[in-house]
Structure 1
Amino acid sequence: MNAPGRPRRHYDYVDNGPDIYLDSFATIRREARFDGLPADAERLAVRMVHGSGQVDLVDDLVVHPRLVTAARQALEAGAPILCDATMVASGVTASRLPAGNDVLCYLHDSRVRPLARAWSTTRSAAAVSLWEPRLDGAVVAIGNAPTALFHLLEMLIDGAPRPAAILGCPVGFIGAAESKEALARLAADHGIDIPYVTVRGRRGGSAMTSSALNALAQEEE
């Protein structure tokens, strides 16, 4: 099969991949303010803005002061990454992972549907219970389901092993804002101090969460 020919140029646009990245990050830094974030969280915030296309996202970010250090150390030590959705897992850039880390999503495990039916909950929440054997010291990435984040928090309150870091950015209109507020208040309300990043309100999503993970996986932008 012959290689396709490129169409005639009708628009003036940047089409060099590295230049697009550099220009994007430069634009974000010109337009956003990072004053309220921990000093080492700027690259994280830039990546999350890049993944969402929303510069004002920075105003709603809540970043634990030890999040960047804790997540990066865990990943460098080989910690698994536990994801609530296949889209989050698919967004992880494998070449950025420092230790060939396992990227796991149990949503389609055969045990999930029976658990969800028995507990009258979502499959996303039921799948989180299957994380328990790998949860201790893991990096958790929740970008889709508020029920998954609520379920994880309930497990932790009941004494489940503690992950090294939680990226809790589920999106939606039902429970998303509330689950993220519960994450932000986990230490104050229950004495469980786990480094985390979240975004207030309804915004979130798989792209934003995997962008955060890619930023934490490697210091280089």
Structure 2
Amino acid sequence: MKNTANTTGSARVVHPIEQESFRRLRSRLDTSHFPPLTRAVVERVIHSAADLDYARDLVTDEESLVRGHAALHAGAPVVVDVEMVAAGITRRETVCRLKDAKSAAGLTRSAHAIRLAYEQVGPGALWVIGCAPTALEELLLLDARPALVIGLPVGFVGAVESKEALRASGLPAVSNVSEKGGSAVASAALNALLYHPAAPAAAERPEEIK
């Protein structure tokens, strides 16, 4: 499955409601101390979930975000684990192989979909996992050499452990510590990089990008 909506590179028009939402967010939380791309990711994730705790829960690395941002804007493939993540990424084509995947003994459909996606895109992709911990676990078994992994699966079983394993892997990543996560916040993290200008230092605030 591919999501091909709004991939023409047209300027993004920011709705006044979104501008006001970010204004209120910043009135309640000082994000000015974050580096530019970290700030963009933190703010957009918080905006997507209306959850200020993500400022403490998210684990990011600015250098990894800079490299992932560059790869994204250079056209690297974007792979998602479920269609709900793809639906949230409206300005970039994505790859989702869940419809083609099958479960087997010791292998979930989500994990199989990751295998199929890797066979399709190879190394250097950005991986956005917002639903299934088993998808993230499978990715860590592959020699995917990702540009960036946004690993934010949600749930009480396996989510925390899979994100711990992602951080321990040393791969360039965005993750969080708690059981929280989900498709909306995972796509928001990717969108933060999409909406940020190609030169990271050019602007720090997502709603200022026209």
| TM-score normalised by the chain length of structure 1 | 0.78
Letter in 2 for 1:55: L
SS in 1 for 2:15: helix
Residue-pair matches, total: 184
Counterpart among 166, 177, 193 of residue 160 in structure 2 = 177
Whole-Å Cα distance in 2 between the matches of residues 144 and 217 of structure 1? 21
Asked if structure 1 preserves the Cα contact closer than 8 Å seen for 2:77 and 2:126, the reply is yes
Whole-Å Cα distance in 1 between the matches of residues 55 and 81 of structure 2? 23
- Aligned CA RMSD, in angstroms, stands at 1.7
Whole-Å Cα distance in 2 between the matches of residues 33 and 195 of structure 1? 26
Whole-Å Cα distance in 1 between the matches of residues 35 and 165 of structure 2? 21
Whole-Å Cα distance in 1 between the matches of residues 61 and 122 of structure 2? 19
Counterpart among 95, 101, 112 of residue 126 in structure 1 = 112
For residues 138-159 of structure 1, give each alpha carbon's deviation from its aligned partner in whole angstroms, at most 9, with x where no partner exists. 110000000100111122xxxx
Task: State the match for 2:8 in structure 1.
Answer: none
For residues 86-145 of structure 1, give each alpha carbon's deviation from its aligned partner in whole angstroms, at most 9, with x where no partner exists. 000011021xx4xxxx30100001xx21xx21x422100111111223131111000000
Q: For 1:196-207, list aligned pairs within 5 A.
A: 196-207=173-184
Give the gaps of 5 or more residues in structure 1: 1-16, 188-193
Whole-Å Cα distance in 1 between the matches of residues 138 and 34 of structure 2? 27
Whole-Å Cα distance in 2 between the matches of residues 38 and 60 of structure 1? 16
Letter in 2 for 1:20: I
Whole-Å Cα distance in 2 between the matches of residues 210 and 18 of structure 1? 18
Whole-Å Cα distance in 1 between the matches of residues 33 and 150 of structure 2? 18
Larger radius of gyration: 1
Whole-Å Cα distance in 1 between the matches of residues 88 and 141 of structure 2? 27
The answer to whether structure 1 residue 140 and structure 2 residue 157 are counterparts is no
The answer to whether structure 1 residue 106 and structure 2 residue 97 are counterparts is yes
Counterpart among 138, 146, 150 of residue 137 in structure 2 = 150
56-65 or 79-88: which moved more?
A: 56-65
Whole-Å Cα distance in 1 between the matches of residues 169 and 46 of structure 2? 25
Deviation at 1:186, TM superposition (A): 1.0
Where relative contact order (Cα < 8 A, 6+ residues apart) is larger, the structure is 2
Q: For 1:39-188, list aligned pairs within 5 A.
A: 39-94=36-91, 97=92, 102-109=93-100, 112-113=101-102, 116-117=103-104, 119-133=105-119, 134-155=121-142, 160-187=143-170
Give the gaps of 5 or more residues in structure 2: 1-13, 198-205
Letter in 2 for 1:154: L
Percent identity between the two aligned chains:
39
Task: State the match for 1:7 in structure 2.
Answer: none
Whole-Å Cα distance in 2 between the matches of residues 44 and 67 of structure 1? 12
Deviation at 1:35, TM superposition (A): 7.0
| TM-score normalised by the chain length of structure 2 | 0.82
Whole-Å Cα distance in 2 between the matches of residues 165 and 105 of structure 1? 16
